Amino acid sequence: MPSIGIIGSGFGALAVAITLLEDGHDDIRLWERSDSIGGVWRDNTYPGAACDVPSALYSFSFEPFTGWASRYAHQPQILTYLRRTAAKYGVTPRVRTGATVVAATFDEARSQWEVGLADGTVDRVDVLVSAVGQLSDPALPAIPGIDRFRGIAFHSARWDHSAPLSGKRIAVVGTGASAIQFIPHLADRASELLVFQRTPSYILPRPDQRYGRLYRGAFRNVPGALQRERETFWSIAEQFSRGLDDDSRAGRIIRALALTHLRLRVRDRALREALTPDYPVGCRRILFANSFYPTMTRPHVGLVTAAVGEVTETGLVADGVHHEVDAIVFATGFDAQNFLSSMRIEGTGSRLLADAWADGARAHLGMHVPGFPNFFVAYGPNTNLGGGSIVYMLEAQARHIRDVLRRMRDGGHRSVAVTREAADRFDHAVQHRLERSVWGHCESWYRHPSGRITSNWPGNTRTYADATARLAPEEFSWT
7 vs 258, beta carbon nearer ligand FAD: 7
9 vs 337, beta carbon nearer ligand FAD: 9
- Name the segment binding ligand FAD (CB under 6 A); options: 11-19, 211-219, 319-327, 459-467: 11-19
* Strand order from edge to edge, sheet including 152-155: 152-155, 327-330, 169-173, 192-196, 301-304
In a 3-state reduction of DSSP, which class is residue 189?
Answer: helix
Binding mask 431-450 for ligand FAD (x = CB under 6 A): --------------------
- Name the segment binding ligand FAD (CB under 6 A); options: 27-35, 242-250, 280-288, 399-407: 27-35
| Binding residue for ligand FAD, selected from 390, 404, 417, 430, defined by CB under 6 A | 390
4 binds ligand FAD (CB under 6 A): no
| Binding residue for ligand FAD, selected from 59, 178, 248, 456, defined by CB under 6 A | 178
What value does the CA radius of gyration of the chain take, rounded to a whole number of Å?
23
**Shortest Å distance, C-beta 44 to ligand FAD:** 4
**Shortest Å distance, C-beta 395 to ligand FAD:** 11
375 binds ligand FAD (CB under 6 A): no
**Shortest Å distance, C-beta 78 to ligand FAD:** 9
- Name the segment binding ligand FAD (CB under 6 A); options: 26-34, 187-195, 207-215, 235-243: 26-34
Range 92-111, binding ligand FAD (CB under 6 A): 100-101
Dihedral, 248, 446, 58, 418 alpha carbons, nearest 10:
100
- Name the segment binding ligand FAD (CB under 6 A); options: 7-15, 229-237, 322-330, 363-371: 7-15
CB 45 within 8 Å of CB 161? yes
51 binds ligand FAD (CB under 6 A): yes
* Element at 129 (helix H, strand E): strand 127-130
How far apart, in Å, are the Cα atoms of 272 and each of 188, 264, 269, 293, 302? 22, 10, 5, 9, 13
Q: What is the DSSP string of 303-349?
A: EE-SPEEEE-SSEEEETTEEEE-SEEEE---B--SSTTTTSEEE-GG
| Binding residue for ligand FAD, selected from 3, 34, 66, 239, defined by CB under 6 A | 34
CB 123 within 8 Å of CB 115? yes
- Number of residues in contact with ligand FAD, rule: CB under 6 A? 34
**Shortest Å distance, C-beta 380 to ligand FAD:** 9
290 vs 342, beta carbon nearer ligand FAD: 342
> Could you count the other beta carbons within 10 Å of the beta carbon of residue 86?
22
Helices and strands, number each (H, E), in the chain: 13, 21
What backbone phi and psi angles, to 5 degrees, belong to 194? -110, 120
| Binding residue for ligand FAD, selected from 19, 44, 382, 444, defined by CB under 6 A | 44
What backbone phi and psi angles, to 5 degrees, belong to 6? -125, 130
CB 21 within 8 Å of CB 90? yes
What backbone phi and psi angles, to 5 degrees, belong to 296? -65, -15
Residues that bind ligand FAD (CB under 6 A): 7-13, 31-34, 39-40, 44, 49, 51-53, 58, 100-101, 131-136, 178, 342-343, 378-379, 389-390
